[in-house]
Structures are given as structure tokens and as C-alpha cells.
Structure 1
């Protein structure tokens, strides 16, 4: 069934779809959202295109105490060009299931757009722990904006990265666009995927340099101690492990349902690592997870490592699709769309439990607090099981 059959006739045209706004988290913080272009002086030749230096785009989500946010404003979730690119990609993926063009262009976010002058002057650098978000293979950072806002709203500086020539399309401030597709989707292309992970790790290090986060031994003291966590969705999962091997500033990692690639599969990691799986996808069914877990246990027996599974979810746990389904009221009764894009668990519930578990994980791994929700199964979150 085409999804447009589930929509009111007046909304079925792209130009007629009305704006929908992501919910604002009820927390002590509002969130600023900025985008920046970064150029890497250490890579004057981009590994995918030697004609120019490596440059990337990032989205930065910064917590602002409610009292310091003087004005909030509603901003587009995605501009017209990027939403049209994503519409085409989603349509190709879904095929006959259908996708209502214009939904992404209609989405908006409430962010803090005016901050009290004293806020930035008095705030210490890296007052909040820093969380990097690694996207799925070929997936734009913009599809993680709502999830990043949710995580930032509980007190984390969150940065989401694009990786040009891999990411489906990256639009720069000068209007130029770099299209992706240089990294194969074939899981057997292990050398090419490992090379792509190395590019991602160097991109992550560029971001940390830009943020002024020092190398180990030179980190500034503060609430986050200068330490960094990395949450990777799908292909971002092995990227989390890879950057942990190559940059000591990343002190903890999370794999959101991603098949593992790269050297970490054989050598493991020496710092806390968390894996989230979806129904039927766990270390007993995913050989690369088993190898990674065994390698970590063998080479780093004291490393804290756990595996969880989220019931009724689908691959791409951290991507915003489940929230889009909620807010734009697209779930309807189309089981194919729910099964392929949203999952039976709502986006609101997904964000609630992910924020809770990720917060407890990073408080434990970055700040030395107790294990919290990782002490055992929780009656509050029965969807989450320990594997």
C-alpha cells in the first residue's frame, strides 16, 4: 500500500503538507544548533579527491540553561535541496511501500536562538561532556538532528558529522555539494570499509581539535574532564570502536546495531563499550559482534562491555525516522512502513529509553559514577533486555 493512501487528500501533495514540529524535551536545558565547515590542514589532499583538502560539515548541539536562553525560534529541520535528495533516497529504498514527498521539508525544530551574553563569557570550555555521533553509511547528519537535540538537552555537547564522498550528499556554506557513493555497501568489501573507517576516525579527530579538546595528559579539567564519548549508528558503530583505537581522547563508545569492521574486530577496545541490538540481531547471530566481544575479553579482560537489545525496534535506532513517524502522523496502519522505517516502538519512547541508558553509560564511563541502569533489567524500561 502506498503511504499517501493513508494521508488526508489535502495533505498528499508535497506543497500542501503542513509543518510538524519535533517535541521539545522537558529538561533544564534548551539547545543551540549551529552548523560549521571544518578544513583539515593535516590532510591537504582529501583521501577521496586529491584536488582539495579534506573538509567536512558538522552540526553542533549545545546545552543552554533555560534561564540563559532569551529566545527560542523555529527552524527548518532540513532545507529544500537536502530534503529533496533524501526523499529520492528513501523512495528508492522503500519502492512500492511509498513515501510522501515533502514530509522532511515540512519538519521544524524549536531551538535556542538568542543566549544571554554572560552565558558564553562565564561558561568554562567543555563544561559539558562531549558526545560525537557517527551516522549510518551514506547517511546525512541532518537525519540525526532531533536525536542529537534530545541528548544535548540532558547536558551533553553533541556533534554530528558528515563524511564527504561517503555521505549521500553534503552541502557546504558556499552552496557546493559533494555527493557520496564512494564507499561500497557490500559487507564483504572489508578492505574498502576499513579504509572508510580510517577516514571517519581522522574526521573525528579533526572535530576534537576544532573543539579544543587536548590530547590525553593535556585535557582541561571540568565537568566532563575533557573526555569524549562516541555514539555510532549502524556503520557509525564500528567507527566508534575504530576511533577509540586511534584517538585516546575518545574514552567510551556505543555501537547502535552496526556490523563491525576494521582492526577492532580482532584486537577489541580497552575502554568502556556498549552495544545496542534490535530483535534478532545480536552477538549470537552477528559473527562480527562475537569476534569483537571475544577480542575485547581476550586482549583487555578488565574492559567494561555490555550488550543490550531493544524490543520492537528496527535497524537505525538513533536515526530520526521513528520520531518523524510520530510527529508527522505517518504510522497509520501501514505495517510495511512501520516494519521498514519506524519500528513498532514509538520514536518518543525510543528517545526516552536511549537518553536514559546513554546518560547512565556516559556518567559511568566519563565521570566515574555508578552503573545506574546497567546494574540489571529495569521495570521502567521492559523493552530493554541484557544479552
Structure 2
């Protein structure tokens, strides 16, 4: 999620920051290059980007008559020879991340790191390995771009899944569309506490997910559309759980630390549970959180879902904090080791847990869940 202070600063900055500023925000070659952990599966990985346009669905954040979503699709590759390795972020997105996400949202270093230099382990447009494969969608946390979910997506793809990470433009801090346009966050500054805007955010995400599901059959990759799951972080985790409830085409979902309730429309009233928390589910859901970010709202809304019984389980990672489920779980540790980030800021972001423990734990938790629910 986010704090009201950081959200106000972010939204105000996004509205006024001139593109010329970005030209002066690029890193030098001498700056630290952060590295993503290598995937452990037997398959090499291909990746492609795809912009989908839903004609006739008005974009709630910028008011255009059509709605865009931007995807990265990770998949097992037949060969990667001769196909370039994809960067984690495009240069324009990395420049904006450096002076926007890093400074105001995550307390990351804005100097000394070359955010554009981080490479993935995936090769652009490499040919796909034959054979239909289970599909997993990913929705990122509020404000965070889909690029911060690269590590887990690559891990799943290396073990035989096709993983589609989704940006929700207008709400995402920055996303570069296939046209080259850098779409920046447009949610009003009141979004952090406005229950109407927060509901609009979730309903927009759910409509994005439904649209992507409807377009899977048009993607030229060997997708097994009978075996589709979803996971997400924070607001994306809440989206994943509720999307499972609303779409019978989804077989299972993981909620990585997302609330399952809405803030009340009338002050003083209790929070309103999401339909999945109100009514339960007959399909598998995993609720995964951290001890550092746990609060009464999680206990209340997650317990409501658990109370219905059914195939729902809850797990918790200790010595950890909210963004440990993203690539920042390893990046923050590298920044601290290089003397570019304090131990306090790292702990607030991802906890004190070492990446050597957190990365395998998260990967095993996510992969084993989908192995159980999508491989059968």
C-alpha cells in the first residue's frame, strides 16, 4: 500500500515534473548496477511486451475513450542464442523511477545506482518452447510498476509456466507503452484516503484483469487456457483474490499482502469486505504476509475469508516487510551493502531478512502453490 504523505508527494510531483528533468536523471556508467537473482528452473526464458487496447472502455484516470494495458510475457524458450537480454526497465521508465519511486515512495538511493542497467535473465522475442503450458497473471502493488515483479515471474517461467505481468496505467508510477509514450501516474492526490477513488482503483484493476483474460486466446504463444492462475502484491494481491471470485476462468490465486476490504464510504462505519471475503471461495487461495506489515485490518479481512473454510491457507514470512515480495527484496540489500541505503530504510522497506532466505522462501511458496493447483 502507501502512506498518505508519500502518495500526496508522488501525485503532486507526477503532475508537475517536466520531461526535461528526466534527461538529467540518468545514471553514469560508474554507478552501481543492481542484479536480479537467477531463476532456478531448467528452461531458458523468452520475453515479449504487448500493449492491449480495450476499445470503448473509458480510461478513468486520463479520460480517453479507450483503455490501455501493458504486459510483459515471460515463457520457456526453445533457444535464446542471438536474442538480446531484456533490461528490467526501459531507459525512460528507469529515469522516472529514479526521481519518483526511489525518492518519494521507497527511500531508495537516487544517486549512485544505475536503475536502467539492471538486466533480466530473459531474451527478447526468443522462440517459445513447444507444448501448451499453464498461464499465470501478475498484478503489482499500488503505484509500483510491473517491472518490480520480474524476479518471481522469471522463476516461474524457468519452471515451465507462461507468466503475464500487467501494468495498470494511470495508477502505476510509470509505464512505457509500445508507442514509446511514458504514461505517468494520474490518480488524484486524495487517492490514499479517498474511499471512492480506492474503489475505482480496484474496480479498474478487476476490469483490466477481465479484459486480459478475454484476450489470452489472441496471444501467439502455447498457452493452456484451461489452467490459468493469478497472483499479485499489495493492491495487486487484493485484485488477484477478488478476480478469482469474479472469473471462473481462473483456477487459483495468491494474495501477497493485500487487504480484502474497502474503506467505508461513510466515516465511522466499518470497512466493507470484498465479496470473496464475504462469501468465500471453492477454488484455492493462498494469503501470504509478513510479520513487519501485519495489522488488525489484515487479521480481520483475511480471517473473514478463512472463516468460510474451503481451500484457503495463510502463511507468513518473518523478519520481513511489505516490499520483500518484489525485486526490492534483493535490490535494497545490494544498496545497503554498497553504502547507499541505511539499515533502517531497508528494514522499513523489506525487513531485516537476508535475500538468501527470503528469495527461496517466496519462490518455493509461490511455485509450489501453482504446481499443486495448475499442474493437475
SS of structure 2 residue aligned to 1:317: helix
* Cα pair 1:257 1:316 within 8 Å, conserved: no
SS of structure 1 residue aligned to 2:66: coil
SS of structure 1 residue aligned to 2:205: helix
Q: Does 1:226 align with 2:215?
A: no
| TM-score, reference length from structure 2 | 0.78
Pair 1:248–1:329, CA change in 2 (3 A): same
Q: Does 1:353 align with 2:358?
A: no
Q: Does 1:340 align with 2:348?
A: yes
SS of structure 2 residue aligned to 1:129: strand
SS of structure 2 residue aligned to 1:275: strand
Partner of 1:100: 111
Partner of 2:296: 286
State how far apart, in whole Å, the 2-side matches of 1:345 and 1:356 are. 16
- Following superposition of structure 1 onto structure 2, how do residues 1-387 of structure 1 map, counting pairs within 5 Å? 14-15=27-28, 16-41=30-55, 43-64=56-77, 68-71=79-82, 73-89=84-100, 90-93=102-105, 98-113=109-124, 115=126, 123-124=130-131, 127-182=132-187, 188-212=193-217, 226-261=226-261, 262-282=274-294, 285-295=295-305, 297-298=307-308, 301=309, 303-326=310-333, 330=337, 332=339, 334-368=342-376
* Cα pair 1:87 1:101 within 8 Å, conserved: no
After TM superposition, give the deviation of residue 304 of structure 1 in Å.
Answer: 0.8
State how far apart, in whole Å, the 1-side matches of 2:106 and 2:371 are. 38
State how far apart, in whole Å, the 2-side matches of 1:307 and 1:185 are. 32
SS of structure 1 residue aligned to 2:291: coil
State how far apart, in whole Å, the 1-side matches of 2:373 and 2:331 are. 31
After TM superposition, give the deviation of residue 228 of structure 1 in Å.
Answer: 1.5
State how far apart, in whole Å, the 2-side matches of 1:317 and 1:310 are. 9
Q: Which runs of 5+ in 1 are unaligned?
A: 1-12, 215-221, 369-387
After TM superposition, give the deviation of residue 322 of structure 1 in Å.
Answer: 1.8
After TM superposition, give the deviation of residue 112 of structure 1 in Å.
Answer: 3.2
Show CA shifts across 1:285-342 (max 9, x none).
33354234324533xx3x2111111112110232111222355674658311321234
Show CA shifts across 1:109-136 (max 9, x none).
23235746xx56xx24xx2211111101
After TM superposition, give the deviation of residue 98 of structure 1 in Å.
Answer: 4.6
Show CA shifts across 1:235-272 (max 9, x none).
11110122112211111111111222343343333321
* Cα pair 2:292 2:321 within 8 Å, conserved: no
C-alpha root-mean-square deviation of aligned residues, in Å? 2.9
* Cα pair 1:27 1:154 within 8 Å, conserved: yes
* Cα pair 2:121 2:154 within 8 Å, conserved: no
Partner of 1:219: none
SS of structure 1 residue aligned to 2:81: strand
Q: Which runs of 5+ in 2 are unaligned?
A: 1-25, 262-273
State how far apart, in whole Å, the 1-side matches of 2:193 and 2:111 are. 33
SS of structure 2 residue aligned to 1:137: coil
* Cα pair 1:71 1:113 within 8 Å, conserved: no
Pair 1:267–1:181, CA change in 2 (3 A): farther
State how far apart, in whole Å, the 2-side matches of 1:106 and 1:329 are. 18
SS of structure 2 residue aligned to 1:238: helix
State how far apart, in whole Å, the 2-side matches of 1:235 and 1:280 are. 17
* Cα pair 1:197 1:242 within 8 Å, conserved: no
